[in-house]
Structure 1
Amino acid sequence: MALACATRATIKHDSDLSLKPHINKVTKTAYFQLRNIAKVRPFLTKPDAEKLVHAFITSRLDYCNALFTGLPKKSIEKLQLIQNSAARLLTKTRKMEHITPVLAELHWLPVSYRIDFKVLLLVFKAVNGLAPCYIADALSSYTPARALRSADAGLLRIPDAPSKRIGESAFSYYAPRRWNALPQHIREAESVDIFKRQLKTYLFNQAYT
């Protein structure tokens, strides 16, 4: 996977590409930090507490999360539980209360959608000449066999899944599928900032409606 080149020095793949060692390390560290934040939470305002959560928890969930495409559902759920715990701590929500409305109120994208956000942002930068060549080289424009409206819709070619082991989790396969599913006006955003705003709104609606 081309994207792995960027982080091979900081994240080690296990033999089945499940990233279990990394997920376990993130989980252990995040809960340690949550316990520390819980100790001072009574003395903090909500905005100040949220800054701590983003600094010590969200940053870890987001670190290199573009590599999490296609992870087993169990691994994603472990990361989601961390975010859920952070939201409960921040809002002082009881464990018995449903967490989805809390996440929506905080305007936090669930973990799986945060992964897609990062992947799609990389794609946007790549197709607009703003990403490293190893990412751009993993993508190619879709060229229909004959003149169609889709010829100028900014679509990407979806290659065959490279192997049974990597399969649909490969960046070169996963990213074009997610990109092509976006509304055309988002793919054609005029700047990175506009794209990020429109993409977050789109993913937020996908997650909570």
Structure 2
Amino acid sequence: MEDCLDEVKSADAIVDKSVIRVGVATITASLCVQCLGVCIDRHLDTKKQVSQTISACSFYLPTKERVVNAIITSRLDYCNALLYGTSAVNIARLQRIHNAAARLIRRSPRSDSATPLLRELHWLPIVCRVDFKLLVFTYKAMNNDAPVYLCELVCPYQPTRTLRSANNNMLQVKRTRTKAGDCAFAVAAASQWNNLPTVI
């Protein structure tokens, strides 16, 4: 009981420090906020968002193919570019839901591998769906078919001297020193775009 009281007191102390005064108003920091249906927690990791997505998808799993495509895959794809750089654990959790949806549609037992089922359904794995969405945004930004704030974040690669790579339609990759910086659109978009085969 004393341990529980100590935990409550320490939690209260943290909350007390997260209070902002604006004029006469007092604003208390929230542990998690939602913006356009995306859950962002104070650690800026996607664990809460992944949990919400899994919960919503699990609710609709006992439905048929059309509903699965309309509800589950759309939920998995919603704002999934934000998952770029998230942990392998989060990706694996989402992939399990994706695999369950594929098994449900094909009426396969849980023991069957989901990989051939995903191929039959022409479904990309979760990590590839995240990369694909990011690359779609990048392509649109390069062709001025995206919001201005995204178009401004992609810069064509311009070498200081004449190189063959200058004609490969590559992007300038900004240097960062943190993992969060590597996940920023300006960096992630350029690095993923440059990793594409030249023929694409």
Give the alignment's TM-score, normalised by structure 2. Answer: 0.79
Q: How far did residue 83 of structure 1 move?
A: 0.4
Q: Greater helix share, 1 or 2?
A: 1
Per-residue CA deviation, residues 180-204 of structure 1 (Å, 9 max, x unaligned), is 1112232xxxxxxxxxxxxxxxxxx
Structure 2 residue 36 is the aligned partner of structure 1 residue 21? no
Structure 2 residue 157 is the aligned partner of structure 1 residue 142? yes
- Cα distance in 1 for partners of 2:164, 2:96 equals 43
User: Runs of 5+ in structure 2 lacking a partner?
Assistant: 1-33
- Cα distance in 2 for partners of 1:87, 1:143 equals 44
User: Which stretches of structure 1, 4 residues or longer, exceed 3 Å deviation after superposition?
Assistant: 7-10
Q: How far did residue 174 of structure 1 move?
A: 1.3
Q: How far did residue 165 of structure 1 move?
A: 5.3
User: Runs of 5+ in structure 1 lacking a partner?
Assistant: 1-6, 38-48, 187-209
- Cα distance in 1 for partners of 2:174, 2:162 equals 21
Structure 2 residue 119 is the aligned partner of structure 1 residue 104? yes
What count of residue pairs does the alignment treat as equivalent? 167
Structure 2 residue 172 is the aligned partner of structure 1 residue 175? no
- Cα distance in 1 for partners of 2:75, 2:169 equals 32
- Cα distance in 2 for partners of 1:12, 1:50 equals 27
Matches within 5 A, 1:27-106: 27-35=54-62, 37=63, 49-106=64-121
Q: Greater strand share, 1 or 2?
A: 2
Structure 2 residue 169 is the aligned partner of structure 1 residue 154? yes
Pick closer, same or farther for the CA change 1:129–1:86 going to 2, 3 Å. Answer: same
Pick closer, same or farther for the CA change 1:16–1:106 going to 2, 3 Å. Answer: same
2:163 maps to amino acid:
L
Give the alignment's TM-score, normalised by structure 1. Answer: 0.75
Q: How far did residue 10 of structure 1 move?
A: 3.2
The structure that has the greater radius of gyration is 2
SS for the counterpart of 1:13 is strand
